[in-house]
Amino acid sequence: MSGNNFVPMVCSDLVTATAATMVGAVPKESSDLVTEDDLRRSAIVPNVLQEIADHFTALAALRAEWQAEIASLEAAGMYEAIPAESWETRNGGGRYLRLVFPTDRKTGQRRKLYVGAYPSAIAEARAKVERRKRWEELTRNLARLAHALSMAERELTATEMGLRLARRELVTNAPTRSPAFDPKNTGHRW
């Protein structure tokens, strides 16, 4: 699932499903399976799920902030890669700055850009390099954030599916004991 609408939908569904599964959906004839500790723990679950929703909201805001900063860096202008500075000497003895870019994979050539000796030109070239460094850092962070959100989404979806299945089993079958732990049931060794 993608987009910012994932957070409220999944978390509200999880709160509803968890609360129903742990408290409301347990049939009366199997009430011996629900202990006082279970009921106390069930009151904690909505708080934990609200914290999860808050984390998702904060991460979505951070993602939007990074995307806005990336757009402003691109609008301000930057180089296509991070160049190395090379100070060279003119025939007359003056020094000037030249930027040397990484080798182009298509052509096999290294592009060199003459900046000059004027402090304003040097400052602008260095500012473009710094913007490029920040842009690369932000794009790496966005990729890491996307991966983390994807993994969290997968885990939450699996948890929600497990709770849904448990609820369905408890409501429809209403077993008094799990067959895996029934001492009379010797055919199952889980």
| pLDDT tier, 162 (very low <50, low <70, confident <90, very high otherwise) | confident
Q: Which of 65-69, 116-120, 174-178 has the lowest mean pLDDT?
A: 174-178
Closest CA to 138 of 70, 71, 73: 70
3-state secondary structure of 63: helix
| pLDDT tier, 126 (very low <50, low <70, confident <90, very high otherwise) | very high
- Calculate mean pLDDT across residues 76-100: 89
pLDDT at 92: 74
Structural element, H or E, at residue 25: none
Residue pair 141/153 in contact (Cβ under 8 Å)? The answer is no
| pLDDT tier, 150 (very low <50, low <70, confident <90, very high otherwise) | very high
Residue 141 has pLDDT above 90, yes or no: yes
Residue 45 has pLDDT above 90, yes or no: no
3-class SS string, 52-97? HHHHHHHHHHHHHHHHHHHHHHHHHCCCCCCCEEEEEECCCCCEEE
- Calculate mean pLDDT across residues 97-124: 92
What percentage of the chain exceeds 90 in pLDDT? 43
Residues making up the chain, counted from first to last = 190
C-alpha 161/C-alpha 20 separation (Å) is 14
C-alpha 62/C-alpha 138 separation (Å) is 11
| pLDDT tier, 172 (very low <50, low <70, confident <90, very high otherwise) | confident
pLDDT at 32: 52
pLDDT at 10: 42
What percentage of the chain exceeds 70 in pLDDT? 67
